[in-house]
Amino acid sequence: MSATGIGAAVRRKEDFRFITGKGQYTDDISRPGQTSIYFLRSPHAHARIGKIDTAAAAAMPGVVAVLTGAEFAESKLGSLICGWTVLSKDGSPMKMAPHPALAHGKANHVGDGVAVVIAETLAQAKDAAERIVVDYEVLPAVVDPMKAAARGAPQIHDVAPDNTIYNWHIGDPEATAAAFRNASHVTTLEFVNNRLVPNPMEPRAALAEYDPGTESFTLWNTTQNPHVARLVISAFVGMAPEHKLRVIAPDVGGGFGSKIFIYPEEVVCLWAARKVGRPVKWTADRSEAFLTDAHGRDHVTKAQLALDREGRITGLKVHTTANLGAYMSTFSSAVPTFLYAPLLSGQYAIPHIYCEVDAVYTNTVPVDAYRGAGRPEAAYVVERLVEVAARELNMEPATLRKKNFVRTFPYQTSVASLYDTGDFEASLNKAMKIHDVEGFGRRKREAERRGRLRGLGFSAYIEACGVAPSSLVGQLGAGVGLWESAEIRVNPTGTVELLTGTHQHGQGHETTFAQVVSERLGIPIENVTVVHGDTDKVQFGMGTYGSRSGAVGLSAVVKALDKVENKAKKIAAHLLEAAEGDIVFRDGKFSVTGTDKSVAFADLALQAYVAHKFPTAEIEPGLKEGAFYDPTNFTFPAGCHICEVEIDPATGETQIVAWTAVDDFGTVINPMIVEGQVHGGVAQGVGQALYEHTVYDDRGQLMTGSYMDYAMPRAENLPSLKVDTTVTKCPGNPLGIKGCGEAGAIAAPAAVMNAITDAIGTEKIEMPATPQSVWAAIQSVNNNRRAAE
Amino acid sequence: MYAFTYHRASGLRQAGNMLAKLDDPKLLAGGQTLLPTMKQRLASPANIIDLNQIEGMSGIELKGRSLTIGAMTRHYEVASSPVVQEAIPALAYLAGLIGDPAVRHRGTIGGSIANNDPNADYPAACLGLGATIITSKRRIAADDFFLGLFETALEPDEIITKVSFPVPKKAGYYKFRNQASRFALVGVFVSKRSSEIRVAVTGAGGNGVFRVTAFEEALKKRFSAKSLDGLTVPADNLASDIHGSAEYRAHLIGVCAKRALDAADK
């Protein structure tokens, strides 16, 4: 391993500009003649929109235009879409309601955009917006997903009776029912997977410009997938032909999924830019982000585990109600179905599984993928059930798991996933050793002497990422393939541009992708530039989410590198006057086997472009190769996290005193970056478990719309994490990569809640386990104990 | 923010005149509440009167058994002052818990108590120590100063110039934070000065900071946590919101009071 190759902890190239304030984020970009746009948003969760009086607003200083949902409707532009068709049990397609970029006729959540003001400055736009008079007829709202499909609930969309989007299922209901009938023990849990607000550090922004000379648009946007945005906005919204719309995602400060989707704001900015003939710029403030960024999770689940006399799991039955919010966001349908249920076997050989998912509309912000996207929800179901089953059966949590691990691969689960490889016991054993699980009893007793309750929780998670094999997801209803593209451009002077269809918004691709290219071509890492994020520069790619950039993105890079090496060898053969089969490429040099004749990569590159010394009728001049890579399967990172907590029973406050993570990510390109991903993922999972509470009142008002009320995890809430790995290389892609970006967020919530419930002795506690709810749970345990005595 | 006119006061008298004469005026001290509120367009004063350039409004002085802190003294100055750490360590400790370093380097004691946020820390210290609030017009005892949520006895053109604290024999503060805002969900300040014992609670009251006379009585026998065993505070009249029910706050008052007493002993 070289100092800058695969496996090296290379410092990130991009950090210099990020840390010194030289980054170029969407909000940093200004265009000549630029205007600012401000969205007037519905203050009501559910309301008919009557007359909108814009006269006073239009007359305010600096105002260029005031536009409403009615005018957007007149434009005949298309609706925003959900691109993954999920079918109900009866075969009928999901009930996708129209989602206009500006609400017209009805507003369906607090924050739904109703009108916009375009003005010289943002302050002027805000002032004018306050003068817009909207005639709302307030309607009753429904925010609770369990109430949305109930009789008498307010109907949100005409196309969806009972606010039901789909009733989906997977698995074998009869075989599962039989397993439960014959079970020696059944563990039952009912719980909520709490709604989260994504909160990337950079809020969303869009800057749209229309050039009447070429009749084409440029959109700068904080998107995780510029080509997908371009495709949806051109083909579905109909803003412009695809080749007349350039989308640029410059530096983007975090996405976590929330910047995958195509939102109303960028559509409105494009439409407005053409209408007013000037660039239109929008940047969300944080309050606006809380009301418009797609939220995450929000499942209500009842789950049951069937076990036999020996503690082997014989069946799993799950029913989930998934709250998708007021509109179906771009990937929303797939998150509680195909990204969720296929993971319900966990690390275990569960012969019979049946899962039903009902998705509903409510008058809340739309819900879609958020770090983990369906897999944290699945890991929570499985790992809470398994831990509770162990307690009920008086078995050690590790013992029950070991009894049920999948041990032979490939393993076909009963929920479609085909696990390629893994060694679950290795991760568990390593984690237990690093954590010193053996010493827990002694630490617990010591804590008791100080009046504190200690608990230990396991989370042996598995997830599916490296999204995704195209024809498989196509069969499941996806509207797109999930391959990836790469182009390697070798310059005449031997430096290289790698154009990737992935996108970095914190993942460090400029460094890790360069590591792979630099090692393969034997050139210094400084000579490699990674280009991404501009649809004019880079061939179509699917962007970054679902921990795909390593497994899928780098596989495309390797394919392109293979093509570069092949062509270069052909040229080298001519330069070195040898047979192509005798050419060896190693350490950046092409040489003839058994001789000392060689040519360095840079020299070969120059020759490729000078094209004097090889027959150009047989070998084209130049050295530039592209590749598209379609994965053959998902990848399955897995591991074991152990969380140890100490609870102050007087206040209910939980402190995480130790955390061990042992993950199997297959091949790791940059261990420093991978460790950072684990840290970040664990922090977000801890945020979900202990702090982040998205609260709506029954009128649909978001009560936690700022950091005064929405608690984010902070550095002081986490101990130093012990992070390690085991490795089973992924057999499915050339580098053996599984991916690592979401694992921490997937593993963590179950680990925390297993630890807390261990400490306090009840399972009846929901996330977030705030001090008040932990204290209340302890009181009820004490009350029950007193009643029993 | 809405547009406003900015005035830089060069002296206290001028600031008072501006307060009395200008339309819809607001004083700017540290701005740690005022500016965010203005940015969210929840406040729109037409005129801002900046106190930050007025000489002599900040400073810490110990004279006999009286510690006086200028109204414009920043939280970090109080937290790091060897004079305060020596005379009333609990007060220095409290100041060090406010906000974060950025907030502490701008926020002022005068601004904090003039605002009287029901979750702020300084009102608990003032009521908990029996402080005197000295203004441009008069001296007001803490017991008479804090009237309700965001409400004080200050007249519209009155400016706090100093806060004077009698030095106690013992004092302690315990703050249980709201996990989101990190303001006090419940904060209890206790002090003992010759015969007077004070227990002041912030964060929990439905009407702002208040004293718990039942606790004060119990502590007269012995100023220690054990004296509060078995005592509870009724939940009625306590604040209740998504962060804590009245019952939980009532419970926390007992816990925080005991921990403040334990701290007072150190």
Which ipTM value was assigned to this complex? 0.96
How far does A653 lie from chain B, in Å, by closest CA?
Answer: 10
Hey, how many other C-beta atoms are within 10 angstroms of the C-beta on A451?
9
Q: Which of B180, B181, B248 sits opposite A775 (nearest CB)?
A: B248
Hey, how many other C-beta atoms are within 10 angstroms of the C-beta on A6?
20
Distance of CA B261 to the CA centre of its chain: 19
CA–CA separation, A706 and A249 (whole Å):
27
CA–CA separation, B155 and B175 (whole Å):
30
Measuring CA to CA, how many Å separate A784 from each of A98, A616, A761, A781, B110? 51, 86, 11, 5, 49
CA–CA separation, B26 and A535 (whole Å):
51
How far does B258 lie from chain A, in Å, by closest CA?
Answer: 11
How far does B157 lie from chain A, in Å, by closest CA?
Answer: 30
Peptide bond just before A70 cis, omega within 30 deg:
no
| Residue A260 falls inside a structural domain | yes
Q: What is the largest CA-CA distance in chain B?
A: 57
Shared domain for A625 and A773, answered yes or no, is: no
Measuring CA to CA, how many Å separate A218 from each of A37, A38, A281? 16, 20, 12
Q: Return the pLDDT at A1.
A: 67
| Residue A145 falls inside a structural domain | no
Q: Which residues are CB-contacts of A776 (< 8 A; sequence separation ≥ 6)? A: A652, B248
Query: Does the CB of B243 have a partner CB in chain A at under 8 Å?
Result: yes
Q: Which of B2, B41, B242 sits opposite A695 (nearest CB)?
A: B242
Q: Which residues are CB-contacts of A786 (< 8 A; sequence separation ≥ 6)? A: none
Binned at pLDDT 50, 70 and 90, residue A2 comes out as confident
Q: In what order do the strands lie in the sheet with B196-202?
A: B170-177, B184-193, B196-202, B210-211
Give which of B104, B141, B139, B138 is closest to B126, Cα–Cα. Answer: B141
Peptide bond just before A637 cis, omega within 30 deg:
no
Residue pair A259/A160 in contact by the 8 Å Cβ criterion: no
pLDDT digits (tens, 9 = 90+) for A382-411: 999 999 999 999 999 999 999 999 999 999
CA–CA separation, A657 and A450 (whole Å):
14
CB contact under 8 A, A287 and B40: yes
CA–CA separation, A637 and A463 (whole Å):
6
Shared domain for A497 and A545, answered yes or no, is: yes
Give the DSSP per-residue string, A9-60.
-PPPTTHHHHHTT---BGGG---TT-EEEEEEE-SSSSEEEEEEE-HHHHTS
Q: Which of A708, A771, A772 sits opposite B180 (nearest CB)?
A: A708
Shared domain for A308 and A209, answered yes or no, is: no
The pTM of this model reads: 0.97
Domain end (from A629, A654, A672): A629
Percent of chain A at pLDDT exceeding 90:
98
Closest-CA residue of B relative to A707 is B180
Q: Return the pLDDT at B194.
A: 87
Interface probe with A: pick from B179, B183, B186, most Cβ of A within 10 Å: B179
CA–CA separation, A156 and B17 (whole Å):
57
Closest-CA residue of B relative to A654 is B179
Distance of CA A631 to the CA centre of its chain: 18
Shared domain for A601 and A702, answered yes or no, is: no
Closest-CA residue of B relative to A695 is B242
Calculate the average pLDDT of chain A.
97
Is pLDDT of B200 > 80? yes
Q: In what order do the strands lie in the sheet with A598-600?
A: A583-586, A589-592, A598-600
| Residue A80 falls inside a structural domain | yes
Which residues of A are less than 8 Å from B252 in CB distance?
Answer: 651
Query: Does the CB of A287 have a partner CB in chain B at under 8 Å?
Result: yes
Strands A47-53 and A216-221: unpaired
What 3-state DSSP class applies to A478?
strand
What 3-state DSSP class applies to A66?
strand
Query: Does the CB of B242 have a partner CB in chain A at under 8 Å?
Result: yes
Is pLDDT of A788 > 90? no
Binned at pLDDT 50, 70 and 90, residue B49 comes out as very high
Which residues of B are less than 8 Å from A704 in CB distance?
Answer: 180, 242
Q: Which residues are CB-contacts of A81 (< 8 A; sequence separation ≥ 6)? A: A96, A99, A232, A236, A262, A328, A330
Shared domain for A282 and A428, answered yes or no, is: no
Give which of B249, B144, B163, B153 is closest to B201, Cα–Cα. Answer: B249
CB contact under 8 A, B179 and A651: no
Interface probe with B: pick from A127, A709, A774, A778, most Cβ of B within 10 Å: A709
Shared domain for A336 and A254, answered yes or no, is: no
SS (H, E, C) A115-138: EEEEECCHHHHHHHHCCCEEEEEE
Give which of A745, A788, A734 is closest to A767, Cα–Cα. Answer: A745
Q: Which of B1, B40, B248 sits opposite A772 (nearest CB)?
A: B248
Residue pair B9/B53 in contact by the 8 Å Cβ criterion: yes
CATH code at position A547:
3.30.365.10
Query: Does the CB of A697 have a partner CB in chain B at under 8 Å?
Result: no
pLDDT digits (tens, 9 = 90+) for A636-678: 999 999 999 999 999 999 999 999 999 999 999 999 999 999 9
Q: Return the pLDDT at B266.
A: 80
Cα Rg, chain B, nearest whole Å: 18
Percent of chain A at pLDDT exceeding 70:
100
Is pLDDT of A86 > 70? yes
Shared domain for A230 and A115, answered yes or no, is: yes
Residue pair B196/B230 in contact by the 8 Å Cβ criterion: no
Query: Does the CB of B248 have a partner CB in chain A at under 8 Å?
Result: yes
| Residue A13 falls inside a structural domain | no
What 3-state DSSP class applies to A499?
strand
What 3-state DSSP class applies to A520?
helix
Query: Does the CB of B251 have a partner CB in chain A at under 8 Å?
Result: yes
Q: Return the pLDDT at A50.
A: 97
Sign of the CA dihedral running A50, A56, A58, A63: negative
CA–CA separation, A587 and A521 (whole Å):
7
CB contact under 8 A, B179 and A770: yes
What's the start-to-end Cα distance of chain A, in Å? 65
Domain end (from A262, A292, A322): A292
CA–CA separation, A330 and A325 (whole Å):
12
Shared domain for A187 and A203, answered yes or no, is: no
Shared domain for A321 and A364, answered yes or no, is: yes
Measuring CA to CA, how many Å separate A535 from each of A247, A553, A662? 6, 16, 38
Query: Does the CB of B229 have a partner CB in chain A at under 8 Å?
Result: no
Query: Does the CB of A691 have a partner CB in chain B at under 8 Å?
Result: yes
Residue A769 domain boundaries: 421-461+637-789
pLDDT digits (tens, 9 = 90+) for A516-540: 999 999 999 999 999 999 999 999 9
Binned at pLDDT 50, 70 and 90, residue A46 comes out as very high
Q: Return the pLDDT at A789.
A: 82
How far does B153 lie from chain A, in Å, by closest CA?
Answer: 27
Shared domain for A604 and A615, answered yes or no, is: yes
Q: Residue B191 carries which DSSP code?
A: E
How far does B252 lie from chain A, in Å, by closest CA?
Answer: 7
Shared domain for A617 and A650, answered yes or no, is: no
How far does B14 lie from chain A, in Å, by closest CA?
Answer: 31
CATH code at position A77:
3.90.1170.50
Q: Which residues are CB-contacts of B223 (< 8 A; sequence separation ≥ 6)? A: B170, B190, B192, B197, B261, B264
DSSP strand E in A636-789: where?
A: 638-648, 653-664, 721-725
| Residue A469 falls inside a structural domain | no
CB contact under 8 A, A771 and B40: no
| Residue A150 falls inside a structural domain | no
Is pLDDT of A283 > 70? yes
> What residue type is assigned to position A284 of the chain?
A
Burial grade of A539 (CB within 10 A; 0-12, 13-18, 19 or more): middle
Q: In what order do the strands lie in the sheet with A453-462?
A: A453-462, A638-648, A653-664, A721-725
CB contact under 8 A, A771 and B179: yes
How far does B179 lie from chain A, in Å, by closest CA?
Answer: 6
Residue with tokens 């496996």: A7
| Residue A174 falls inside a structural domain | yes
| Residue A394 falls inside a structural domain | yes
How far does A701 lie from chain B, in Å, by closest CA?
Answer: 13
Residue pair A225/A286 in contact by the 8 Å Cβ criterion: no
Query: Does the CB of B240 have a partner CB in chain A at under 8 Å?
Result: no
How far does A11 lie from chain B, in Å, by closest CA?
Answer: 29
What's the mean pLDDT in B46-53? Answer: 97
With left for phi above 0 and alpha for psi between -120 and 50, is residue A778 left, alpha or beta? Answer: alpha
Shared domain for A572 and A679, answered yes or no, is: no
Q: Angle at which helices B122-129 and B89-97 pack, to 10 degrees?
A: 160
Q: Which residues are CB-contacts of A442 (< 8 A; sequence separation ≥ 6)? A: none
Q: Return the pLDDT at B195.
A: 78
Which residues of B are less than 8 Å from A776 in CB distance?
Answer: 248
Domain end (from A629, A655, A676): A629
Query: Does the CB of B41 have a partner CB in chain A at under 8 Å?
Result: yes
**Which backbone phi and psi does B241 adopt, to 5 degrees?**
-155, -170
Number of domains into which chain A is organized: 4
CA–CA separation, B58 and B163 (whole Å):
10
What 3-state DSSP class applies to A87?
strand
pLDDT digits (tens, 9 = 90+) for A618-637: 999 999 999 999 999 999 99
pLDDT digits (tens, 9 = 90+) for A158-194: 999 999 999 999 999 999 999 999 999 999 999 999 9
Burial grade of A687 (CB within 10 A; 0-12, 13-18, 19 or more): buried
Q: Which residues are CB-contacts of B31 (< 8 A; sequence separation ≥ 6)? A: B106, B111
CA–CA separation, B124 and B175 (whole Å):
10
What 3-state DSSP class applies to A444?
helix
What's the mean pLDDT in A575-593? Answer: 96
CB contact under 8 A, B180 and A712: yes
Which residues of A are less than 8 Å from B260 in CB distance?
Answer: none
